[in-house]
Amino acid sequence: MATGRTGRIAAAGVAVAGLVGLGLLAAPAGAGAAPELPPVSPEDLVSSVLTADPGAFGGTVELDNALGLPALPGMPQASDGTSTARVWTDGDRRGRVQLPTSNGERTLVSDGQTFWAWDSESRTVTRVPEGEHPQGGPGGPDAANADPAAAATQLLAALRPTSEISVDGTAEVAGRPAYELVLAPAASERTLLREVRVAVDAEHRMPLQLTVLATGSSDPALQLGFTDISFGAQDESLFSFTPPPGATVEDGQAPEGRPGGAPFQGTEPTVVGDGWDTVVVATAPADAAAPGTGELDGDEPSLAQLGTPVSGPWGSGRMISTAVATAIVTDDGRIAAGACRSRS
C-alpha cells in the first residue's frame, strides 16, 4: 500500500506540475529583472535615435490597439485588438512585410526596383514600379505603420518642444536590453494623453516599442513593438518576389494626386494651438459630412454615422471620442480633432 500512496502523491504532483506549467505559459513574457545599462541623458538618447542607422534586421511586430476607434472596412488593424506583422529589411531600399490573418496573409515586398503586394485571399499580385511608388521605402505606407522605428522617430521629432523627456530606467523588449524614454506632456498641456513611452535598443539605438498611455487607464491605449527581432544580414530570398503559379498579376498605379496634391477635396487643415493640445480644424468634403446626401461607396465609412450628436454655439454635429483623441464633425462639414478632452 505504501507504493500506492507514493504513486498517488507522484501522480498528483504531475497533475499540479501541469497546472503550474499552464500558469507559466500564460504569464506575460519579459517579466525578468530590468537590465543594467550605463546611464544616458535624454538628449543623448533622442539624438542618437534620430541619427541611428540600425541596418538590416528582421522581426515580428505586434500591435495592441485599444484606441476605441470605430471599425473601418479593409483595415482590421485600426479597430481594437491585436495584430502582428513580420518585417524584414536589408537596411537600404529593400524590405518585406507580411501581415498574417487567421486564414490568409498579405505580403508586401520591395525588391529595389518593383514593389509587390500579394493578397492570399484573392490570390492577386499587384506590381508597382518602385520609381512611381510614393513612399519608395520598404512596403510604403503600410510598412511605415508597422515599423516602430519610423513611427517612434516621427513622434520624437514632433513632441520635443512641449514635452518633459526623461529616461525612466531600463527594460527588456524582444529579449534585448533597452532604455525607456518617457515623454510626458508639460504641466500646462491639457491632453488626454498621460505619457508616451519608447523603448530604445541599448546597442543599436533603434526604437523597439512604442506605448501610448491615456489618462485614467493603466493599460496602454496603443502598443506597437517588436516581440522578436534579430539584427544583421537577412536571407536574400526574402527581398525578391516571384508571382506564384495561378496568381492574377495586376499592374498597379501609383495613387493619383496623393503625393503632391491635397489628401482630400476639402480646404487645407488649420492647426490651432501647439504641443499636446493641438487641434486640427479642417473642412470635410460636403458629401461625406452631410447625412443623407451624396452617394457613398459601400466600403467608404460615413462620418455621419459615427459618434454621438452634440451642439453648441458653434452649431451642431457629432462628437467621436476615442481613448486618446476627440473629434467633432459639424453638420456643415467642419472637423476639429485633437488629443483633448471634451468639456461636457
Residues that bind other proteins (CB under 8 A): 4, 7-8, 11-19, 21-23, 25-26, 60, 86, 98, 100, 102-105, 107, 118, 120-123, 125, 228, 235, 238, 241-247
Q: Which one, 17 or 186, has the nearer CB to other proteins?
A: 17
Nearer residue to other proteins within complex by CB, 48 or 60: 60
The least CB distance from residue 178 to other proteins, in Å, is 20
In the bound state with other proteins, the residue whose beta carbon lies nearer, of 62 and 195, is 62
CB of 287 to other proteins, least distance (A): 31
Q: Is 26 or 33 the residue whose CB approaches other proteins more closely?
A: 26
Beta bridge partners of 229: 59
Cβ-based burial of 59 (10 A; exposed 0-12, middle 13-18, buried ≥19): buried
At closest approach, how far in Å is the CB of 221 from other proteins?
16
Min CB(250)–other proteins separation in Å: 14
* Cα–Cα distances in angstroms (integers) from residue 314 to residues 9, 307, 311, 344, in the given order: 75, 18, 7, 14
Q: Between residues 60 and 77, which has the closer beta carbon with respect to other proteins?
A: 60
Residue 227: HSE in the Cβ half-sphere, 13 Å Cα cutoff: 13
CB 104 within 8 A of CB 120: yes
Q: How far is the CB of 280 from other proteins (least distance, A)?
A: 31
Nearer to other proteins, 88 or 179 (CB): 88
The span from the CA of 121 to the CA of 126, in Å, is: 13
Main-chain phi, psi angles of 146, to 5 degrees: -85, -20
C-beta of 29: minimal distance to other proteins in Å?
Answer: 10
Of 90, 86, 69, nearest to 78 by C-alpha is 69
d(CA 327, CA 339): 9
| Residue-wise DSSP of 289-314 | HSTT-S---TTSPPGGGSSEEEEETT
Q: Is the CB of 23 or the CB of 313 nearer to other proteins?
A: 23
Q: Residue 280 and residue 316: Cα distance in Å, rounded?
A: 18
Which residue, 5 or 343, has its beta carbon nearer to other proteins?
5
Nearer to other proteins, 179 or 241 (CB): 241
C-alpha distances (whole Å) from 112 to each of 87, 90, 203, 255 are 16, 10, 28, 19
Q: Closest distance between other proteins and the C-beta of residue 97, in Å?
A: 11
Cell 473601418 found at: 72
Which pairs count as long-range contacts for 111-115, CB under 8 Å and 24+ apart, including other chains?
A: 111/239, 111/240, 111/241, 112/239, 114/241, 115/139, 115/140
Q: Extract the C-alpha cell encoding 239.
A: 527581398
Helix (H) or strand (E) holding 78: none
